[in-house]
Chain A
């Protein structure tokens, strides 16, 4: 069992994969560091770039963006008290307090070590836990996939918006949109409004770019044009970790990493939840002399360890069942589909070279991230000074050009813009763009499952709920109840301490 993943390590180290890994890490660090820009948006923008690459290479680039984006978000959280991503919001509490006390570089060092090692451990857990878990999906037939699809989009949508009902409605809108186009069973065009571009169905690429990049670009055009965050220019940038610092924080780091690993596996929990759970645990483990809220390195170590500890394990439910562990994982799932790969056991059986190469790519990207950050640290700090009024239009341009480059079809640009406007409206009215995307991705699976279910149940689909002879249903129900219970148990409470953090955007994770 241990040997199989190892034989694919060399594939991940090919010059092509290594090149895109560096590209992904640089893009992730840069975009993550800019407040208001999020890893899902970075992944969305890089998806058309991945066109033309082999699937493994493309996915390596996207998971590298993801890992580096989460880490990059900590820079602005620590230096400016403005989290680059929502997964870094808790780091802003202790991190910024350390910066105020002249300990910025120490905070960055702790963050770098906690993030790199957390991501590394998380990647190894992904590598060795995902394949055996994938066998669970063998128990699933089309009907089970229908329920799993509903569970997935309920979970992610609920966490993303804070309103289960609005989140679920977003997912249902996605399911509906997935039915647009010619029905393969009857050959009849559905909901196309006689527009030829809709006959082939709604593409995932314009949906990803529109919902996550264009919408955020529009949002950035709002407000004060001169809005940027100033303050950091004269710092020394030696961010190699010091053994003494790490040794003092060893238990905090371990608590953070452990929290991240566990929270990542729970669908939809993600880094945004994990950081607060880890911080809460750390505060409760405080010893006399610890000064939480006043720049306590233990708090920073735990939050930084947890938000990158999540990254690898959040890909487990995505690869195994198609239920993403967070919003970034949902966008990666979309890219996976765009490249013709379907999650589940078949992915591991039919494409082991692809999936293991991606996982090794993720692990290596985490190591690379630390080295690249050493060289980019100063640039990342300056990037936080870039005015949002210029970044917004640039993202809109990149969305248009990226969609056209990926599809060579002007109709897809209009569809992408439609999704962008929809996404912007959804953000404003507290609906979930992630739910819509997931609905579009899971729609075909759900539709096949629902059709089979109606046939098997002879038009009485609810009979399966009470089918106690089939243990699969009992298992699914128990898993669902555990998810619900864990979600409510670990749902982050609004921080009521002195350091109140405003999250820059909700399209984050």
Chain B
């Protein structure tokens, strides 16, 4: 698939989403759909303009094929996003200290960082510092669990 087709496809998804906004908003009374309708309507026009511009320009870059890279290296940011979901779930079960330590050590492994001394030092310094800052200084409650 070329980059031009990719752009066209993403604009089609945006237009579909805007269509859903217009469709859903139609039932809102007292002008409740005005701003959402305005946003969706103008977005559809802009999407069509982008599609037109993409095919009119026909640059070399747009004619290139999309390089679908599913290697771990390319997907690392997404892996980290998934891992942080587990962190959020864990923090309310195990507590702030334990889950943050587990998270930092495991993510350093996942990102490929092998400097264990640096990771342990950062964990040892930053976790209590953040706890002290939020819990003691700002008196904002941090998540608690069965462990600390």
Q: Residues of A with Cβ closer than 8 Å to B?
A: 48-49, 51-52, 165-166, 168-169, 172-173, 175-176, 178-179, 183, 185-186, 188, 190-191, 217-219, 221-226, 387, 389-390, 392-394, 396-398, 400-402, 404-406, 408, 410, 413-414, 417, 420-421, 424, 429, 439, 443, 446-447, 450-451, 454
Contacts and interface: CB of A to CB of B under 8 A. Distances in A.
A439 B43 CA distance: 13
Contacts of B108: 389-390, 393
A175 B28 contact: no
Contacts of A429: 10
A60 to B, nearest CB: 16
A191 B77 contact: no
Contacts, number: 162
A217 B25 CA distance: 35
B115 interface: yes
Nearest to A189: B28
B2 interface: no
B87 interface: yes
Given A218-B81, A225-B111, A447 B35 contact: yes
A389 B32 contact: no
A217 B10 CA distance: 25
8 contacts: A173-B43, A219-B77, A389-B111, A390-B108, A393-B107, A396-B87, A402-B134, A405-B142
A393 B103 contact: yes
Q: Size band of the B side of the interface?
A: 35 or more
A190 B118 contact: no
Contact of B139 (A48, A52, A410, A439): A52
Contacts of A49: 133-134, 138
Contacts of B14: 169
A291 B126 CA distance: 45
A263 to B, nearest CB: 28
A451 B35 CA distance: 8
B5 to A, nearest CB: 15
Nearest to A186: B30
* Best-buried of B33, B87, B92, B138 by chain A (most CB within 10 Å): B138
Contacts of B91: 400
Nearest to A416: B88
Given A190-B32, A224-B112, A401-B142, 14 more contacts: A176-B21, A179-B39, A221-B111, A225-B114, A397-B100, A397-B130, A400-B87, A400-B88, A401-B130, A401-B134, A404-B143, A414-B88, A424-B81, A450-B34
A221 B106 CA distance: 13
Contact of B138 (A398, A405, A410, A421): A405
Nearest to A421: B81
Sorted from nearest, which 7 A-B pairs have the closest CB atoms?
A: A225-B112, A405-B140, A389-B111, A393-B107, A176-B39, A172-B39, A221-B80
A410 B144 CA distance: 13
A13 B104 CA distance: 39
Nearest to B10: A429
Given A51-B140, A387-B113, A401-B134, A424 B77 contact: yes
Contact of A410 (B30, B88, B111): B88
Interface in B85-142: 85, 87-88, 91-92, 96, 100, 103-104, 107-108, 111-115, 118-119, 122, 126, 130, 133-134, 138-142
B34 to A, nearest CB: 5
Contacts of A190: 25, 28, 32-33, 36
B36 A169 contact: no
Contacts of B85: 417
B148 interface: no
Given A401-B130, A405-B141, A392 B35 contact: no
B34 A447 contact: yes
B104 A397 contact: yes
Contacts of B42: 168, 172
B138 A450 contact: no
Q: DSSP majority for the B interface? A: helix
Nearest to A193: B24
Interface string B8-50: 0010001000000100110011111111101110110011011
B76 interface: yes
Nearest to B80: A221
Contact of B130 (A223, A398, A414): A398
A151 to B, nearest CB: 14
B63 interface: no
Nearest to A448: B35
A83 B42 CA distance: 37
B66 interface: no
Contacts of A166: 50
Nearest to B134: A405
* Best-buried of A52, A221, A394, A450 by chain B (most CB within 10 Å): A221
A199 B2 CA distance: 41
A450 B34 CA distance: 7
Contacts of A410: 88, 92
A183 B142 contact: no
B147 interface: no
Nearest to B100: A397
A209 B130 CA distance: 17
A225 B113 contact: yes
A389 B113 contact: yes
Contacts of B130: 397-398, 401
Given A52-B138, A404-B143, A450-B38, A393 B28 contact: no
A420 B85 CA distance: 12
Contacts of B21: 176, 191
A393 B80 contact: yes
Contacts of B103: 393, 397
B56 to A, nearest CB: 13
